[in-house]
Amino acid sequence: MKHHISVFGLGKLGASMVAAMASRGFHVIGVDILKNAVDALNTGLAPVQETGLEEMLTAYRHRIRATLNSEDAIRNSSLSFIIVPTPSDERGAFSLKYAEHAITEIGRALARKNEYHVVVVTSTVLPGATRYGLLPILEAASGKKCGQDFGLCYSPEFIALGTTIRDLLNPDFFLIGQFDDRSGDALEAIYRQVCLKNLAVHRMSMENAEIAKIALNSYVTLKISFSNVLADLCERIPGGNVDVVSAALGADSRIGRKYLTGGMGFAGPCFPRDNVALNFIGSSLGANCNLLQSNDAYNQAVLGRFIEKIKQVASGFKTIAVLGLAYKQLSHVIDHSPGIALACALAEAGYQVTGYDPLANDAARIALRHHAHIADSLEQCLKEAEVILVTTRDAAFQGLTAADFLQSKNQVTIVDFWRCLHPSLSTVPGIRYIPIGRCFDDETAALRIRELWEKHSSPIPLCIELPMSPLPAAP
Ligand SMILES: NC(=O)c1ccc[n+]([C@@H]2O[C@H](COP(=O)([O-])OP(=O)(O)OC[C@H]3O[C@@H](n4cnc5c(N)ncnc54)[C@H](O)[C@@H]3O)[C@@H](O)[C@H]2O)c1
């Protein structure tokens, strides 16, 4: 029999979780403090933008309801996921203020419930937060004992915005940090029904799971930075091509191809802050976290490198179009968006900047109100642009033709940060195509690298005289 579950927090991850769970036959009760989010869910609408979310909420509406009332949700479910925000605080740690509020409400509801209930913290928290930050509040508010009257787990999800529902239903593995076996068994039983494949479930202490979650994200950021170092290097080597190098590197099973692309730095609401937070907890406890600090500093410097490069290629031009204002394609989120940062910096440098994004135009209009004009269509954005920056791999950008870029102009410069445009563009008269991560001036690069070797090579000896060793005496 499928359980009734509840999800506290109907944001980007929580609403997708509701839809994913309902699609697997669970009856799901969503809880939020925002009436709009609750009303949206009750009418089959998506409270946030996410690929396929509204379609799924509509399709499984008969198994979904939402409420502002925590007690209703706890009484009518046997397990609750907490997926509320954990924003970064001034130290770089994750604040528990929303989670504390949610867990207090859950505790009060548990005080009036006789049956065993499992509470699962899914929000990203730092090591120790579940046991030492949230559990005491839960026990105090409920007047009950963990392990006896209720269970507790820390179990994060590993999703990417834009593919959240697909990722929730097809994870690489499940991670369960459990207070005790009973809590972990209850959650594993649910996960086994969510995923159709027989996936690995890694069960461990809550602290190890808290470390694993944030370490995974931070490790991915190291990989991104490494591939950006390679992209930078490839641009300086005659014929250098980061895609060719990465394909070879990624074929090694120790490395793998994912996130080894070379392009923009890591961005969005999770990666930058997770790296900072891992550094915070490690440094606070005395671990040497120089590697994480360097990664963060390097990532911030990537943008500076691009700004200098764009200023060089845009010298003599006035108008710049930025295609891609979300931090990545398929998302409306602009947190740490490289497109937004570039638009600001270039406007401040005196360029006339126009931006466009299929999903993030509304958010960008507010963020860039003093810096850039936001175009209502791609066509409008490209109309006057002399220099065009393609900052995300959006399908709408990948399909652009030479005629779309040129319109009535004789000449345009295109900087393709992900090398995602059609390769034929590089040969079209009037288009100067600059792919990031590939050498685009072999001649200058050859001069520099030749100089490096010529300066340091010693004169070639005409013949090499080997020291003669005496012949062994004849026996
Ligand atoms: N978005 C991601 O890509 C992602 C990925 C992995 C983990 N996470 C983590 O998941 C958590 C939630 O992230 P998000 O992006 O879904 O946040 P979000 O801001 O999109 O949504 C959070 C929702 O929680 C609601 N909320 C706040 N306090 C509440 C309370 N006391 N009770 C009930 N609802 C409450 C808010 O009103 C909002 O609707 C964070 O800890 C985040 O780090 C997010």
Min mean pLDDT across 232-246, 248-262, 444-458 is at 444-458
Report pTM.
0.91
- In order, the DSSP letters of 301-331 are HHHHHHHHHHHHHTTT--EEEEE--SSSTT-
Percentage of the chain exceeding pLDDT 90:
93
- 23-68 pLDDT per residue, tens: 999 999 999 999 999 999 999 999 999 999 999 999 999 999 999 9
- Spell 300-315 as b/e; 16+ CB within 10 A means b: eebbeebbeebeebbe
Q: What fold characterizes domain 4-204? A: Rossmann fold (3.40.50)
Give distance in angstroms: CA of 10 to centre of ligand 1.
7
Q: How far apart are CA 289 and CA 287, in angstroms?
A: 6
Give distance in angstroms: CA of 335 to centre of ligand 1.
14
Per-residue model confidence (pLDDT) at position 429: 96
Per-residue model confidence (pLDDT) at position 268: 95
Q: Please indicate whether residue 155, judged by its CB atom, sits closer than 6 Å to ligand 1.
A: no
Number of residues assigned to the chain: 475
Query: How many CB atoms sit inside 10 A of residue 195's CB?
Result: 16
Answer yes or no: 463 catalytic. no
Give, for ligand 1, the residue of 32, 67, 84, 106 to mutate: max count of ligand atoms closer than 8 Å to Cβ.
84
Ligand 1 atom with minimal separation from the 105 CA: 31
Nearest CA to ligand 1 atom 10: 123
Query: Alpha helix (H) ranges present in 118-178?
Result: 135-142, 164-169
Residue 336 has pLDDT above 70, yes or no: yes
Ligand 1 atom with minimal separation from the 159 CA: 5
Per-residue model confidence (pLDDT) at position 464: 60
Give distance in angstroms: CA of 14 to centre of ligand 1.
6
Q: How far apart are CA 348 and CA 292, in angstroms?
A: 30
Question: What is the mean predicted confidence (pLDDT) over 322-342?
Answer: 96
50, 141, 46: which is closest to 99 by C-alpha?
141
Q: Please indicate whether residue 447, judged by its CB atom, sits closer than 6 Å to ligand 1.
A: no
At 196, the pLDDT band (50, 70, 90 cuts) reads: confident
- So where are the chain's domains? 4-204, 214-299
Residue 456 has pLDDT above 80, yes or no: no
Ligand 1 atom with minimal separation from the 160 CA: 3
- 214-227 pLDDT per residue, tens: 999 999 999 999 99
Per-residue model confidence (pLDDT) at position 58: 95
- 99-149 pLDDT per residue, tens: 999 999 999 999 999 999 999 999 999 999 999 999 999 999 999 999 999
Query: How many CB atoms sit inside 10 A of residue 398's CB?
Result: 15
- 383-403 pLDDT per residue, tens: 999 999 999 999 999 999 999
Per-residue model confidence (pLDDT) at position 458: 66
Give distance in angstroms: CA of 269 to centre of ligand 1.
11
Domains 4-204 and 214-299 share a fold: no
Per-residue model confidence (pLDDT) at position 461: 59
3-state secondary structure of 80: strand
Query: Alpha helix (H) ranges present in 24-69?
Result: 35-42, 53-59
- Half-sphere exposure (Cβ direction) of 108: Cα atoms closer than 13 Å: 9
Q: How far apart are CA 21 and CA 23, in angstroms?
A: 5
The answer to whether 81 touches 120, Cβ cutoff 8 Å, is yes
- 178-189 pLDDT per residue, tens: 999 999 999 999
Among the options 146, 234, 270, 289, which is catalytic?
Answer: 270
Per-residue model confidence (pLDDT) at position 470: 63
Per-residue model confidence (pLDDT) at position 460: 60
Give distance in angstroms: CA of 156 to centre of ligand 1.
12
Nearest CA to ligand 1 atom 33: 32
Q: Chain-wide mean pLDDT for the chain?
A: 95
Name the CATH architecture for the domain at 214-299.
Orthogonal Bundle (1.10)
Q: How far apart are CA 21 and CA 160, in angstroms?
A: 17
